[in-house]
Amino acid sequence: MHFNYIRQDAVKILGISVLTMFVPSILKAYGFKYLVSSKAALLGSLDPLITAVYAYLLWGEKLTLTKMIGMMLSFFGIFILLATGSSTETLFGGISIVSWPELAIIGSLIISRYGWILARDVLKSERYSSSELSSLIMITSGMYALIAAYFLHEYNFYALPITSHTTLLFAYSVIFGEIIGYTIYGNLLKKHNITLISLSGLSIPLFVHLYGPFLLNEPLSVTFFVAFGFFALGMYIFYRDTEKN
């Protein structure tokens, strides 16, 4: 990684950092605060469909009838989920059956996906490795967050008690969620189809829902399994058609 490259790509990197991490992280944090964890995770799995829409709009990638059927089934599953809002969600209002916390999660996906599309273009220039670009994005996003916290009067190092539990959570998030996770993700973006990569996270909402009763005292929900069933079936149909093409 050369300083001249960073200087030439500074505007791109600053913009990508806003789109991939800074703004999406704030929106996700707001959504996670008020949504059941598995609901937030299933909404987060809309990523492949959002990617497909971007591919259609930006690159003219064809949406076949089979893909559209798969997308409609998946969106129907999401509709079932959105129609079952909790009492906490309804306090914040929203648009029709979609609460503001739900809109925040969906908005974070739309913004983040566009940012990663831009990041993919930078990676293809071969100026940076995926770990180098991830590092630049994370450092820049962290600076944005600290500056925003300062001006919003939320800059307080002592707001979170430093205990062995919080230290382990922080270390796990940084090492596995950020360093290892984003580096692997960047490598996959460089080598494989972006829609196919997005599909790899389909199992996450199911695991989150099964972990919920043990870690967060969240009840298992028949409605969630029905919604997930429609969503997974739609994504399977969508994925099979992607493979054929």
- Answer yes or no: are the C-beta atoms of 149 and 29 closer than 8 Å: no
CA 55 to chain centroid: 17
Residue 38 lies in a domain: yes
Residue 133 lies in a domain: yes
Residue 196 is predicted with a pLDDT of: 66
Residue 177 lies in a domain: yes
Residue 2 lies in a domain: no
Residue 91 is predicted with a pLDDT of: 62
Residue 1 lies in a domain: no
- Domain interval for residue 147: 7-244
Residue 136 lies in a domain: yes
Instruction: Give bridge partners of residue 193 from the DSSP assignment.
Output: none
**Per this entry, what is the length of the chain?**
245
Residue 18 is predicted with a pLDDT of: 94
Residue 12 lies in a domain: yes
Residue 63 is predicted with a pLDDT of: 82
Residue 53 lies in a domain: yes
* pLDDT tens by residue, the chain, 245 residues: 678 888 888 899 999 999 999 999 999 988 888 888 888 888 888 888 888 888 888 887 788 888 889 889 999 998 888 887 655 556 666 666 788 888 899 999 999 999 988 888 888 887 888 888 888 998 999 999 989 888 887 776 666 677 888 889 889 988 887 788 877 877 777 777 666 666 666 778 888 888 888 888 888 888 889 999 999 888 888 877 766 65
Task: State the Cα–Cα distance between residues 90 and 80, nearest whole angstrom.
Answer: 16
* Number of domains the chain contains: 1
Residue 243 is predicted with a pLDDT of: 60
